[in-house]
Amino acid sequence: MRHYNAVVEAFNTDPAGCEPMFMRGADYGAAEWSDGFLCGFQFDERAWSLLAVGQPTWFAPFMRLGTEDGIAITDKQGDAARWIDAIVPSLVEIAAYWKSRRAMPGHAPMPAMPIVRATPKIGRNDPCPCGSGKKVKKCCGGTPTAPSTMH
């Protein structure tokens, strides 16, 4: 957690000064680091995918070094050093993008979209939707005596 906090602090204050772990002689290389960076997309896949489509040059180093297809192309062209050198400038661009979208001091953050249910919420004391006539809590609601599957 200490490392995570240090990376966040450094990235927020001086993204150009951030140095990925693989550049410090760590056990992993640029390919593993780039693969991990791309895996981070899963935390907000929609937002990251939109950014990657909108700014493909920012993501080219990670795609060339962190995917099987990219590694094959990089090996064939022999230009891994070029892509490794492009990582930090890409991180600076990405950091600037996300920083510009954070809430500005003194301004309220954008409200979250409300969750709208497709059907009304079923309370534990309502009749079970399976049609048994029992309360949800005594039928399919998950009590220890309830059946393990919905019927």
Instruction: Give the model confidence (pLDDT) of 76-95 as tens digits.
Output: 999 999 999 999 899 999 88
N residues, the chain: 151
How far CA 115 is from CA of 47, 89, 112, 138, in Å, comes to 19, 38, 9, 28
Using CA atoms, how far apart are residues 135 and 113, in angstroms rounded to an integer?
Answer: 32
Residue 36: inside a domain? yes
Report if residue 57 sits inside a domain: yes
* Position 64, amino acid: R
In a domain, 114, yes or no: no
Encode pLDDT of 19-39 as tens digits. Answer: 787 887 767 788 998 998 899
Decide: helix, strand or coil at residue 44: helix
In a domain, 10, yes or no: yes
DSSP class of residue 86? T
For 74, the token pair is 């990089």
Task: Provide the residue type at 74 as one letter.
Answer: T
Question: Does 107 have pLDDT greater than 50?
Answer: no
Cα 68 to Cα 24: distance, rounded to the nearest angstrom: 24
Contact partners, residue 10, CB within 8 Å, separation at least 6: 17, 18
CA 60 to CA 90: how far, in whole Å? 9
Please check whether residue 131 lies inside any domain of the structure. no
Q: Count CB-CB contacts under 10 A for residue 127.
A: 14
Would you call 135 helix, strand, or coil by DSSP?
A: strand
Coil, strand, or helix at residue 127? strand
Residue 125 inside a domain? The answer is no
- Check pLDDT > 90 for residue 14: no
pLDDT tens-digit series, residues 36-78: 889 988 888 888 888 888 888 999 999 999 999 989 999 999 9
The DSSP call for residue 108 is: P
Residue 119 lies in a domain: no
- Look up the domain containing 97 and give its range: 1-103
pLDDT averaged over every residue in the chain: 80
Query: What is the total count of domains within the chain?
Result: 1
